[in-house]
Structure 1
Amino acid sequence: MTDEELYVDGDSARWAFGTGFTDPLHGVDQSVPEGVDAEGLAACCLALGDDALVSAQRLAEWCTRAPELEEELALANIGLDLLGQARLLYARAGRADGTGRGEDAYAYFRAPEDFRNVRLAELPGGDFAFTVARLLVLSVWRLAVCEALTAAPDPVLSAIAAKSAKELAYHRRYAAEWTVRLGDGTAESAGRVRAAWATLAPWLGELLTDRTAELLGGDPAAVATRTRLELFHVLTDAGLNPSDDLTPLDAPTSSVPGSGRDGEHTSHLAPLLAELQSVARAHPDASW
């Protein structure tokens, strides 16, 4: 199955997301292929879906707050891309784990300790430089994962990954361009992006050692190598020395103990989810 085969709705073919379908995978064969570990598939989809949802919520906080209208729209559109990815991944998880749960159940009716996102995604937004730096890291890393998953033995996940990779390539380019612009700009902008990388540094090891996609073709070592290499090139172009303490590109593990993949989160996730989930929990039987 290719990502094009996920386009449905007869003659008016379009992506199911946004067409009014309750299930974003409407019309797609969602049976788990023989030989694929359904539990591992569900866990992978859930973790990557949580990464996308939490990241999208953080980007939504920039609405009305971005330095320029153009950047506000860009960040909002990136957030919408990630929200769409979360919908698809949650829908796939619900079929793979046998529960049949829809994306709302995963997004709105789980406690913080049930989320499996990397903790970098849940840190407070900070200033624009921090948002750009975090977006760069998550986009580079997530793109490496998704491109690896295009060869996943599950054709639905493979198609979701292929579609996501196209979006993530833009996210990476946007964040890289802003990183270079800030790093090679004024003393103020360079100082802010350096401070952002210093804040990000302790959390990078969680991404570089993540094994979520390993059983489905996402080799952790290959993903980590590519992530390090791409970040090295962007930081060099930005005039930041990637060999100093700004980023632990050679560090095998995070300097912050615990892992969001195990449900261990910072104190920042609970209030983020409380805001995200408030309306759905206040009106659990409502339809939208």
Structure 2
Amino acid sequence: MTRDEAFFQFLLRMGDNTLILGHRVSEWCGHAPVLEEDIALANTALDLIGQTQMWLGLAGEVQGEGKSADDLAFLRDAWDFRNVLLVEMPNGDFGRTLMRQFLFDAWHSIMLTRLRDSKDARVAAIAEKAGKEVTYHLERSGDTVIGLGDGTDESHARMQEALDYLWPYVGEMFEGDAVDAEMAEAGIAPDPSGLRADYDALVGRVLAKATLTIPDSRFAHKGGRNGRMHTEHLGHLLTQMQWLQRAYPGATW
């Protein structure tokens, strides 16, 4: 694998994470429990889609085949996506959605902080811009997890159930491979395994305040980052997300 090939795969991973999670969060538009949450979730989705535009736009540039961010978002099949499995998990109830958001935001904030020091100026610039948005995402999702976890008996039970369900998908974010090794050697991105200690500390503080118990297991579902094994949920999501472009190829309005 050449460095440009590895760089392309890394950019797909970053962009696909935000694209798929952005679409998932957007599914709440008009359905959130209160108006304030409806607006907040819609804004989070818009932030993530905006970050996708930057990551996939750069991916198309690095690939050198004349593909735009839209091409990469709407004209790839499920096995070509490189997002972690966590972000393709269905929304479930409001508690599960916010727990998924928090678990991803914690990783995302740490990764973007490291990427600000990337030797590739384009990556550093994207991380700088995205990091400001993700700081807010993390503050909001963390506060909501605390409020619900340390709330009523029902809200606490739902948040613990959400954590138990989603925790096995956390470990994949820290799995390294040849792409990560190449990016670390080039000084473009950190080795993901090196983020775990900071992640555990951050997540542990928040979940302790939420009176939630972290499952005692490091088992990790994986396969999304290299496209070997996505869940069935991704295919259903792409059917909704891509159908217009597939039905009317190249249409503009």
Shift, 1:213, TM fit: 5.1
Aligned position for 1:260: 224
**Residue 197 (str. 1) matches residue 169 (str. 2):** no
Residue 145 of structure 1 contacts residue 213 of structure 1 at CA under 8 Å; is this kept in 2?
no
Aligned position for 1:276: 241
Residue 24 of structure 2 contacts residue 90 of structure 2 at CA under 8 Å; is this kept in 1?
yes
Shift, 1:98, TM fit: 1.4
How far apart, CA to CA, are the structure 1 residues paired with 2:118 and 2:86?
25
Aligned position for 1:65: 31
Q: Give the structure-1-normalised TM-score.
A: 0.82
Query: Of residues 200, 209, 218 in structure 1, which corresponds to 2:175?
Result: 209
Residue 115 of structure 2 contacts residue 190 of structure 2 at CA under 8 Å; is this kept in 1?
yes
Equivalent AA in structure 1 for residue 233 of structure 2: H
Shift, 1:199, TM fit: 0.6
Aligned position for 1:148: 114
Equivalent AA in structure 1 for residue 144 of structure 2: W
Distance 1:73 1:192, change over 3 A: same
How far apart, CA to CA, are the structure 1 residues paired with 2:94 and 2:128?
29
Q: Give the structure-2-normalised TM-score.
A: 0.92
Aligned position for 1:230: 202
Aligned position for 2:97: 131
Residue 44 of structure 1 contacts residue 213 of structure 1 at CA under 8 Å; is this kept in 2?
yes
Aligned position for 1:15: none
Residue 42 of structure 1 contacts residue 96 of structure 1 at CA under 8 Å; is this kept in 2?
yes
How far apart, CA to CA, are the structure 1 residues paired with 2:86 and 2:189?
23
Identity across matched positions, percent: 36
SS of the equivalent of 1:260 reads coil
SS of the equivalent of 1:261 reads coil
Query: Of residues 222, 240, 252 in structure 1, which corresponds to 2:212?
Result: 240
Query: Of residues 68, 72, 97 in structure 2, which corresponds to 1:106?
Result: 72
Aligned position for 1:218: 190
How far apart, CA to CA, are the structure 1 residues paired with 2:150 and 2:176?
31
Rg comparison, structure with higher value: 1
Tell me the matched-pair count.
245
Residue 160 of structure 2 contacts residue 213 of structure 2 at CA under 8 Å; is this kept in 1?
no
Instruction: Tell me whether 89-98 or 216-225 shows the greater mean CA deviation.
Output: 216-225
How far apart, CA to CA, are the structure 2 residues paired with 1:114 and 1:175?
29
Aligned position for 1:28: none
Bigger proportion of residues as helix: 2
How far apart, CA to CA, are the structure 1 residues paired with 2:248 and 2:70?
12
**Residue 95 (str. 1) matches residue 61 (str. 2):** yes
**Superposition RMSD on alpha carbons, in Å?**
1.5
Shift, 1:186, TM fit: 0.3
How far apart, CA to CA, are the structure 2 residues paired with 1:116 and 1:210?
13
Residue 176 of structure 2 contacts residue 193 of structure 2 at CA under 8 Å; is this kept in 1?
no
How far apart, CA to CA, are the structure 2 residues paired with 1:105 and 1:188?
44
SS of the equivalent of 1:262 reads coil
